[in-house]
Every structure is written in C-alpha cells, then in structure tokens.
Amino acid sequence: MDIPVIDIAPFREGTAEERQAIAGAVDAAARSIGFMQIRGHAIPDAVIAGLTGAIDGFFNQTPAQKMAWRPPSVRINRGYSGPLSERLSYSLGVASAADLFEAFNVGAPASLWPDLGLDPLDYPENLWPDSPPDFRSGVQTWFDHAAALARHLATIFAVALDLPEHYFARFEDHSLDVLRMNHYAMPHGVSRVEVDQMGMGAHTDYGICTVLWADPVLPGLQVLDREGLWHDVQPVPGALLVNLGDMMARWTNDRWISSMHRVLPPVTPDGRVIRRRSAALFHDGNADALIACLPSCTDATHPPLYPPTTVAEHLKAKLAGSRALELNADAVREAARLAERAP
C-alpha cells in the first residue's frame, strides 16, 4: 500500500492552482485509502520533543503511580487506561482479546466555552498528573498545535469536496477533540503475548480526522485495503499521519474512507515486546452537530448509506464498546468490512 505524501504548506498562501492541486491529492487519498502522510504541517520539532518527553516521563512510572490517574468511570474519556483494559474491536461490535496498550487521554473541556452550557460528560475536565512536572505543558502545547492542524485540514477537505472553504467550521467550533497518548510494552506480570492478541484491535476512528505521531517501529500500525489485506504503515521522516474518521465517511456517503486499522504487538522473533509510542489527536466535531449525507454525495442511484446522527450519539456507542466493553450494534457496515479481511 502506498500512503500518499502531501505537502500542505502551499495551501496557506499558494496560488489557486497550488491549492486546488493539494485538495485534489487529498481527495484521491481519501477515496482510495483514507490515510495520508502530511508534510508542511508547521509543527516545530521542539513541540514534538515536548510531547515525547511527557509520554516517556509518565509511562516510565510504576503501575501504582499511573493507576492513581484513572478516571472515576470508564464513561469519562480522560486520564489513564491500563494495559488489557480496553478492546477497540468492540467499537465495531466484534469480540476480541484485550488489547495490550496503555494510554492517557486529555481533551477539550466544557470550561473552554463557559457560555454554551455543554454537557460535562461530553466535555469532561482533564486529569493532569503532578509527575513528571512538565507533563501538562508538553502535552497541552502539542494538543493545541495538532488541533489547529486538524482545523486547517478541514478547510482543505471542504475545497476537495467542492464546498465553501469554511463549510465545516460550524461543525467544529466547540469540537470534542481528544488526545490519546499510547504506550505499547509488555504489561506488568505478563510474560507472553496471547495468540491473536493485538497491541490495539481493529477499528475505525470516530470523528472527522485523526492527526497521528508515532514511533517508526515495525510491526505496528496496519491499514486494511479494499481487498481485505492488511498493510504496514510507517510515518516518513518529517511527516505526520492523518486518517479520516466515521464522520467524514457519513458526510460523503463512503466516497471517502474511514480507514480500518489496527496495531500489531511490536514483538521480536523471540517474543519480546519492543517499546512503541504514539499520540493520536482525534478531531471529532461538536457534540451537538448533526451529521447527515452531503447533498453532493447522494442521488437517486446512490441513496444515503447511514442515518443522520449527532457526534455525541455516535461517540457514545463507539466508546461504550472500546472502554465499557459493550458490543456496539450500530457499526454494521464497518464490522462487515472487518469480517471480510485476510488474517
């Protein structure tokens, strides 16, 4: 699988022809794969270094220190999730073994928009560890840069779909953005990886798009193609991986792909797990945004494939699967793609 590398820098101040060429490249990647490698993202190396330093500082702590930052309920998508506590495939309604990864989540809290009366269950406040001391600054700086990039990408998406440039702005002005920092290592007390156990089980992302930084470790991230084959994906130097989520598939009536992907345990031939880190900024859209098929993506011979839904309703069903381990019954089309896969 060839993940297109797209330099988006000229879109900001380039000519109309340059902007249209970038939008065309994004459209082609969105139609064929749903993944792209983005260069020209304008996120400084120092910001990425601050993120990785925060990840290392937190996950290198003892299990007891990390567990102290669990949220009071799995319904609250913040704080620490321990290894073997989640099953991402459940978000598709597909049972699987527990995933190996551990994670820490932060997101956009309701307090950012005090006048909107947002539901604190949709926009919970963050849990900020007191150790390492620079964790909050490193993570928040990366979050702000990655969220700004996601909004910029949304303008490119609009041009690629022949929509007004700022069409999606009204769906993302109080977006449910969440940053998930993932750490793959052998869980404490576990001596071997079980058969068919995943670092992170097969799933689609839930929102508009995901901005991903990841260690260049293989095996790791894999993407499912249209023929049902899994392909290794590794970020190229200087680029960030970007993939589309379910909201874009619903908007475009599957013209654009919400990519099925998974993470293999990064295991050596002798069974050791190689440490791997990643950080995914999920740009999910406003909780109260109603997502329905774009008029330009449906006609008499192409009826809408998905019923309208709000972002909050969709996320609730997906997160109840992966975090609360309740099989999601509302992901029939996605589950069917997974059932047709190669091993």
- Under-50 pLDDT residues of the chain: none
pLDDT at 234: 85
CB 279 within 8 A of CB 285: no
What is the model's pTM? 0.93
pLDDT at 154: 98
For the 5-339 domain, the top CATH level (class) is mainly beta
Beta strands 35-39; 240-244: pairing state: antiparallel
Q: Rounded to the nearest 5 degrees, what angle is found at the Cα of 44, between the Cα atoms of 41 and 49?
A: 120
**Segment 142-182, tens digit of pLDDT:** 999 999 999 999 999 999 999 999 999 999 999 999 999 99
pLDDT at 262: 92
18: region left, alpha or beta (phi > 0 left; psi from -120 to 50 alpha): alpha
pLDDT at 183: 93
pLDDT at 283: 98
